[in-house]
Amino acid sequence: MSQIFHRSANTLSRATIFGAVFVLAALIWAGYAIQGSPYITYAGVRKPQPVPFSHQHHVAGLGIDCRYCHTSVENSSFAGIPPTRTCMNCHSQIWTDAEMLEPVRASYRSGQSLQWTRVNQLPDFVFFNHSIHVNKGVGCNTCHGPVDRMPLMYQQESLQMEWCIGCHRDPQNNLRPREQVFNMRYEPPTDTHPVVVDGQTFTEQADLGTYLVKKYEVRSVHDITSCSTCHR
């Protein structure tokens, strides 16, 4: 029986198979890249707000503490969005005629809350508690980035599970003394910049973190990487 296909068909079939493998790998890589891109995560994206509130001006410029506006961050799962009257504590006396603050004044007059757009938004199937992280020594800018340098607020990190798990697997690298949690310019310990806690001097983050894990009774890595910790 004569040969049906030319010998070159073998080469063509091999090239097709290898090509399909490479195309599939490229598609998987592209999907992974898109999944972690700002298009999906909104990291770095400045969302529209009813008022162009500047954290840079209020935090760095005026020195207002995070807790003045986010009043429940130390004892609640939710950091809290400040009510209009918090804004008006100052703006009933300063910038009273500023056009861009008219939505704030209108909200105060009508009693209707401003409809702020959540910047750091987690899915409904994720449980996150601000107070736990604050009281375990996780600084605001660890998750939210340099808020005091943001004229318009944006999400600093991807907030995807791999980012959260990365911290939970090695929590001591992101812990600081509780009194430094709201310090946006906090610096980890070094030889030239030691950190003193309970009379002990630390020059390395690993040593400080290990001490704080015990001091603040941080649960084991096994516990905080368990699925049920965040998905309840």
Residue percentage of the chain with pLDDT more than 70:
96
Give the pLDDT confidence score for residue 217 in this predicted structure: 97
List, for residues 29-82, the tens digit of each pLDDT value.
888 778 878 888 889 999 999 999 999 999 999 999 999 999 999 999 999 899
Listed by start position, the domains of the chain span: 8-35, 39-81+116-230
Query: 3-state secondary structure string, the chain?
Result: CCCCCCCHHHHHHHHHHHHHHHHHHHHHHHHHHHHCCHHHHCECCCCCCCCCCCHHHHHHHCCCCHHHHCCCCCCCCCCCCCCHHHHHHHHCCCCCCCHHHHHHHHHHHHCCCCCCCCCCCCCCCCCCCHHHHHHCCECHHHHHCCHHHCCCCCECCCCCHHHHHHHHCCHHHHECCHHHCCCCCCCCCCCCCCEEECCEEECCHHHHHHHHHHHCCCCCHHHHCCHHHHCC
pTM for the model stands at: 0.84
The pLDDT mean for the chain works out to 92
Give the pLDDT confidence score for residue 128 in this predicted structure: 95
Give the pLDDT confidence score for residue 23 in this predicted structure: 84
Is the pLDDT at 202 greater than 70, yes or no?
A: yes
Is the pLDDT at 8 greater than 80, yes or no?
A: no
